[in-house]
Amino acid sequence: MENKRVGKWQERAGAVLEPGEQVTAAATGTTGGWVFWLLPEISWFRDHARAYLVTDRNVYVCRLSSTRYGEVQDVLEKRPLGIARVQFSRGRITLDGGNPVFVGVLPIGRRWAREAVGAAGSSRSAAPPPAEASR
């Protein structure tokens, strides 16, 4: 595992991951609450906290516990890594255009979102290009 933060997400999400699956990137944020749009890093006090977890096999959108910081409550969406489209734009990270999560105004939240996008996209860029049609 590349760092302690990703290692903590491995522990927190262990119950929802497939056996042997490894978290490679994670980004957290919020879906609502006007106060938390300014600083979603404190949004675990609400039921709007979300985590995007990128593993070696899948991309997960998880609901986080509103009472226990960082605890994964349940999985809202799960997509195989090769077909998942994770994007980051205007401070929001999305999975296949849905489940927008605002990652905050602090540079660290934005960096984590970009890391998640990169980890999810690296599997597609590593895939061989489609064969050209013969003329």
In a domain, 67, yes or no: yes
Pairing of strands 86-89, 98-102: unpaired
pLDDT of residue 37: 53
Q: Which pLDDT belongs to residue 130?
A: 43
**Per the domain annotation, does 134 fall within a domain?**
no
Residue-level pLDDT, tens digit, the chain, 135 residues: 458 888 899 998 999 999 999 999 999 888 864 455 555 555 445 567 889 999 999 999 999 887 677 788 899 999 998 899 999 988 889 999 988 888 877 888 899 999 999 999 865 444 444 444 444
- Asked if residue 62 belongs to a domain, the reply is yes
Q: pLDDT value at position 116?
A: 93
Helix, strand, coil percentages (3-state) for the chain, rounded to 5, are 30, 35, 40
Residue 82 maps to a domain: yes
pLDDT at 35: 55
Domain count, the chain: 1
DSSP assigned state of 105 = S
Domain annotation covers residue 10: yes
What's this model's pTM, rounded to 2 decimal places? 0.79
- DSSP state string for 23-50: EEEEEEEES--HHHHH-GGGGGGTTTEE
Q: What CATH number does the domain containing 59 carry? A: 2.30.29
Contact status, residue 110 vs residue 104, Cβ threshold 8 Å: yes
Domain with 67, as residue range(s), is 4-125
Residue 18 in any domain: the answer is yes
Residue 97, in any domain of the structure: yes
84 located within any domain: yes
